[in-house]
Chains A and B, each alone.
Chain A
């Protein structure tokens, strides 16, 4: 080693400049390929299952400020027209990525999705004597998205604090059960809602004890919790609720509350502004979680312990206490989602009635890139897919019902696998914090 003193070098650039490497644009051609495949599939469907007749799109309801008449169009014509537009947009996407080396912009993908949806509906609803109610489609989508959105918000909070919550399904299910039971006993949906939140907190607490305090693998704890809650609720359901269905499993539900004036806006009015209080609360909670995470001291600390717990520790933040608080709060949020099944939707508990919504919520967390607004939007999308299935069975679409039941899950899979792109979760999510 030599040991000359270093002369202060004149003219050296400020070392503040970041190490910038030259970049070349790498554009994946995945997006246009997906668009092409979807277009092809729809065309194939139209050929293979030709389905003549008119389709009746109902856009309004008698309640609106003004009435929009039912639009009656020939189904195959609209469907094929849609395919042509989709093919054109796909071609545009190919040109953009290969020739101009640009990413596929939203002004291609969004119209593609809308046109594709209309074309699909035109095909499915052709020849049906019933109206295909767009308002009903949106309204039902919002209702069905409730558990997914709340579950996803709970998942976002937990993961932002560094705890992976696979047990959202368990939280939803136990909350559904508890709210049915408490709602039936007290005859109050509000009491049922509070009980549901507590049930979500209880599951979160068990998860926290194992994942945070005892540093057990978080994925395993979550999976075990899911199975455990299925077991417990199924057992109690058959032993307790079924024999006493009148007393213990018949809860009053939240009524729909219309917001004056707003509910009379055509199409979206009845869909968005004539819902139960749990739906309005969903919008409030979504905004609150966003504000809390990004604009408050609480959120800064939660994100810090989820990204770099040791850094948080070295500035005096109690990492595990922060994680517990966030996880329990997330449990309460997910619990509201579970209450949907009983005190909003059907007024009674059924065995395994959440049917995997917690896992769809987990997908929404990732699809939403751990951001509350995006995750809530993803939840709405998945809710839409669920509702599409029920609407299509109502109009009598020529698809076997089993295939229709798969639709929400297929859409979830496509969305998460194909459209998310590169996303990066909180760095310390799933890693227990241990002081040396």
Chain B
């Protein structure tokens, strides 16, 4: 089916998320929609899928103008979507998720689960998946959950398939397999829209590329374009894609973790006998697929986990068993992986967020009273230093873009006298311009002699920042390797296979 979007415009109040966007996707092609976070890609696809109603413009399928009142209409017209945040009911089985909304029933409205199971098995077999129709979705790894999303669309005979940032949660191997599936779907004649901001994937799989910036189509590119060309088209200026850093100068101060075991309340060993050392002046990147213990490890470092055994020594002082306050006072800076959840109070101003972890005494609090002058002076200074793009220090943090929010977190954490910096997913949901800045500040912190731990599920980022890379799998350390290790070796390590000559 041929999909055509003509002059789609979508406004949210004063913000124009999509400004007269035209897009044509032919059957049998993979059309990449490339743009930064917040460029308006997802808004456009939500319009296509009937979740939003466009203010102007029309959706045309095979020459027919469509009117979608809701996702049900879009689906009936043959549009399927693999959402960035999976639209699966976690406690349902695969078959139940696939049948939901168009259930086969027998007499009396009884569910015909067997029909749904058969359908799941048929589609899975066609693409060589291994999906158990009776598995409960929340027990499946994200890669398989994504396949369930794909099966869901195919079960409704979708001819146009939209993949919204599908690789954000996948290992490199899973990403490759997804690319294979997309090619297979294309060869069967489906029209595929692939939304992403990752340049490497675009060049690998796209037949055509449309670049979106600030809600507008800014150009088409050929799959043979270089990364630098695509990036500058996407950002609107020349971007430096590599992180410049000198060889590390190791100091004596260090974080030593030995035999660390973190157990969750339901008895799962999330961090399983982990030992490593980070010296002052080096960056240790922790790589691995999301959910392999990285979150629990970083939280244990800060004292946020309940059940922790083993030892965490910073400059010789034991941190296990200390309160979060004591850990902070020991000089640990922490950039949490979900800044909106753990790092910032969205309804507080920038100035308030910047002093959030120092509300217990001078200079910001004296005799129980906030020192507003001191707070504002500090905020002005940090906003300037960290290039936070905002109307003023009284702006609520929740209103900032992801990149500027992350700069506020970083400004707060780096403004203390640090003995250790732990940055979890420092550039997740951050625009390319801010990524450059954040990476520079992290490298600067390392060069100042602070041990730095960076947790990233994006292998590119881990490789770019790290002096050494530690790969975690199922809570254990697969290996600690130099940052020059080839990507395919790292990819295998992320799947739990230790490189030769390296003990798991």
State the total of A-B contacts with C-beta under 8 angstroms: 179
Within 8 Å CB of A22, what residues of B?
Answer: 268-269, 272, 474-475
Q: Decide yes or no: A314 and B103 within 8 Å by CB, A5-B204, A7-B488, A18-B139 being known contacts.
A: no
> Could you list some 13 contacts between A and B, CB below 8 A?
A2-B242, A2-B464, A4-B486, A12-B173, A12-B491, A18-B139, A18-B141, A21-B272, A22-B269, A307-B92, A308-B89, A311-B89, A317-B101
* Closest CB in chain A relative to B51 CB, distance in Å: 7
Q: Decide yes or no: A1 and B242 within 8 Å by CB, A314-B81, A315-B72 being known contacts.
A: yes
**Cβ of A19 < 8 Å from any Cβ of B?**
yes
* Closest CB in chain B relative to A126 CB, distance in Å: 45
Within 8 Å CB of A5, what residues of B?
Answer: 200, 204
Within 8 Å CB of A315, what residues of B?
Answer: 71-72, 75, 87, 100-102, 152
**Cβ of A313 < 8 Å from any Cβ of B?**
yes
Return the contact of B71 from the options A6, A300, A313 (Cβ within 8 A): A313
Within 8 Å CB of A323, what residues of B?
Answer: none
* Closest CB in chain A relative to B32 CB, distance in Å: 16
DSSP majority for the A interface?
Answer: loop
Over the window 232-259 of chain A, the binary record of Cβ atoms lying under 8 Å from chain B Cβ atoms (1 yes, 0 no) is 0000000000000000000000000000
* Closest CB in chain B relative to A8 CB, distance in Å: 6
Is A317 within 8 A of B263, CB to CB?
Answer: no
**Cβ of B187 < 8 Å from any Cβ of A?**
no
Within 8 Å CB of A20, what residues of B?
Answer: 474
* Closest CB in chain A relative to B304 CB, distance in Å: 18
Q: Decide yes or no: A316 and B491 within 8 Å by CB, A1-B461, A15-B177, A308-B90 being known contacts.
A: no
Most A CB contacts (10 A, CB to CB) among B91, B140, B292, B486 go to B91
Return the contact of B111 from the options A15, A297, A308 (Cβ within 8 A): A297
Q: In the complex, which residue of chain B has the Cβ closest to the Cβ of A17?
A: B141
Is A1 within 8 A of B464, CB to CB?
Answer: yes
A239 and B194 CA atoms in complex are apart in Å by 69
Within 8 Å CB of B101, what residues of A?
Answer: 301, 312, 315-317
Within 8 Å CB of A62, what residues of B?
Answer: none
The 9 closest A-B pairs by CB, nearest first: A316-B72, A315-B101, A311-B87, A26-B267, A21-B268, A22-B269, A1-B460, A296-B109, A314-B87
**With A23-B268, A26-B265 given, can you name 15 additional A-B contacts, CB distance below 8 Å?**
A1-B241, A1-B461, A3-B227, A3-B241, A9-B172, A14-B130, A19-B289, A21-B270, A25-B267, A297-B105, A315-B72, A315-B100, A316-B70, A318-B70, A436-B46
Return the contact of A295 from the options B110, B292, B460 (Cβ within 8 A): B110
Within 8 Å CB of B97, what residues of A?
Answer: 311
Q: Decide yes or no: A303 and B200 within 8 Å by CB, A6-B172, A18-B141, A25-B267 being known contacts.
A: no
Within 8 Å CB of A69, what residues of B?
Answer: none
**Cβ of B96 < 8 Å from any Cβ of A?**
yes
A241 and B496 CA atoms in complex are apart in Å by 75
Within 8 Å CB of B461, what residues of A?
Answer: 1
Within 8 Å CB of A427, what residues of B?
Answer: 90-91
Q: In the complex, which residue of chain A has the Cβ closest to the Cβ of B141?
A: A18
A3 and B174 CA atoms in complex are apart in Å by 17
Over the window 267-306 of chain B, the binary record of Cβ atoms lying under 8 Å from chain A Cβ atoms (1 yes, 0 no) is 1111010000000000000000101110000000000000
**Cβ of B60 < 8 Å from any Cβ of A?**
no
Return the contact of A307 from the options B91, B103, B491 (Cβ within 8 A): B91
Q: Decide yes or no: A307 and B90 within 8 Å by CB, A12-B492, A300-B100 being known contacts.
A: yes
Within 8 Å CB of B266, what residues of A?
Answer: 26, 422
Over the window 180-220 of chain B, the binary record of Cβ atoms lying under 8 Å from chain A Cβ atoms (1 yes, 0 no) is 00000000000000000001100010000000000000000
**Cβ of A298 < 8 Å from any Cβ of B?**
yes
Is A312 within 8 A of B143, CB to CB?
Answer: no
Return the contact of B496 from the options A13, A316, A435 (Cβ within 8 A): A13
* Closest CB in chain B relative to A195 CB, distance in Å: 28
Over the window 401-429 of chain A, the binary record of Cβ atoms lying under 8 Å from chain B Cβ atoms (1 yes, 0 no) is 00000000000000000000010000100
Q: In the complex, which residue of chain B has the Cβ closest to the Cβ of A317?
A: B101
* Interface of B toward A, CB cutoff 8 Å: 46, 49, 51-52, 70-73, 75-76, 81, 83, 86-92, 96-97, 99-103, 105, 108-111, 129-131, 139-141, 143-144, 152, 171-177, 199-200, 204, 227, 241-243, 263-270, 272, 289, 291-293, 460-461, 463-464, 474-475, 486-488, 491-492, 495-497
* Closest CB in chain A relative to B463 CB, distance in Å: 6
Is A26 within 8 A of B103, CB to CB?
Answer: no
A316 and B69 CA atoms in complex are apart in Å by 10
Is A314 within 8 A of B110, CB to CB?
Answer: no
Q: In the complex, which residue of chain A has the Cβ closest to the Cβ of B179?
A: A6
A21 and B243 CA atoms in complex are apart in Å by 34
Within 8 Å CB of A48, what residues of B?
Answer: none
Return the contact of B487 from the options A2, A11, A314, A318 (Cβ within 8 A): A2
A13 and B493 CA atoms in complex are apart in Å by 11
Within 8 Å CB of B263, what residues of A?
Answer: 24, 26
* Closest CB in chain A relative to B334 CB, distance in Å: 23
Within 8 Å CB of B92, what residues of A?
Answer: 300, 303-304, 307
Is B75 within 8 A of A316, CB to CB?
Answer: yes
* Interface of A toward B, CB cutoff 8 Å: 1-9, 11-26, 295-298, 300-301, 303-304, 307-308, 310-318, 422, 427, 435-436
* Closest CB in chain A relative to B313 CB, distance in Å: 25
Is B241 within 8 A of A307, CB to CB?
Answer: no
Q: Decide yes or no: A296 and B110 within 8 Å by CB, A18-B139, A311-B87 being known contacts.
A: yes
Most B CB contacts (10 A, CB to CB) among A6, A17, A307 go to A6
Is B51 within 8 A of A9, CB to CB?
Answer: no
Within 8 Å CB of A436, what residues of B?
Answer: 46, 51-52
* Closest CB in chain A relative to B42 CB, distance in Å: 11
Is B72 within 8 A of A2, CB to CB?
Answer: no
Q: In the complex, which residue of chain B has the Cβ closest to the Cβ of A21?
A: B268
Within 8 Å CB of A296, what residues of B?
Answer: 105, 108-111
A315 and B51 CA atoms in complex are apart in Å by 11
Within 8 Å CB of B265, what residues of A?
Answer: 26
Within 8 Å CB of A18, what residues of B?
Answer: 139-141, 144
Within 8 Å CB of B102, what residues of A?
Answer: 315-316
Is A301 within 8 A of B89, CB to CB?
Answer: no
* Closest CB in chain A relative to B244 CB, distance in Å: 12
Is B100 within 8 A of A301, CB to CB?
Answer: yes
A394 and B72 CA atoms in complex are apart in Å by 62
Q: In the complex, which residue of chain B has the Cβ closest to the Cβ of A309?
A: B89
* Closest CB in chain B relative to A282 CB, distance in Å: 21
Is A314 within 8 A of B200, CB to CB?
Answer: no
A297 and B291 CA atoms in complex are apart in Å by 34
Is B474 within 8 A of A19, CB to CB?
Answer: yes
A2 and B175 CA atoms in complex are apart in Å by 17
* Closest CB in chain A relative to B380 CB, distance in Å: 33
Within 8 Å CB of A19, what residues of B?
Answer: 141, 289, 291-292, 474
Q: Decide yes or no: A16 and B100 within 8 Å by CB, A2-B463, A308-B88 being known contacts.
A: no
Within 8 Å CB of B463, what residues of A?
Answer: 1-2
Within 8 Å CB of A312, what residues of B?
Answer: 89, 100-101
* Closest CB in chain B relative to A145 CB, distance in Å: 29
* Closest CB in chain B relative to A372 CB, distance in Å: 16
Is B174 within 8 A of A15, CB to CB?
Answer: yes
Is B492 within 8 A of A9, CB to CB?
Answer: yes
A4 and B463 CA atoms in complex are apart in Å by 12
A422 and B52 CA atoms in complex are apart in Å by 38
Is A297 within 8 A of B52, CB to CB?
Answer: no
Q: Decide yes or no: A23 and B267 within 8 Å by CB, A3-B200, A12-B491, A308-B87 being known contacts.
A: yes
Within 8 Å CB of B488, what residues of A?
Answer: 6-7, 9
Within 8 Å CB of B268, what residues of A?
Answer: 21-23
A123 and B37 CA atoms in complex are apart in Å by 72
Within 8 Å CB of A310, what residues of B?
Answer: 87
Is A8 within 8 A of B176, CB to CB?
Answer: yes
Within 8 Å CB of A304, what residues of B?
Answer: 89, 92, 100
Within 8 Å CB of B89, what residues of A?
Answer: 303-304, 307-308, 311-312
* Closest CB in chain B relative to A73 CB, distance in Å: 45
A304 and B474 CA atoms in complex are apart in Å by 30
Is B100 within 8 A of A21, CB to CB?
Answer: no
A26 and B265 CA atoms in complex are apart in Å by 8
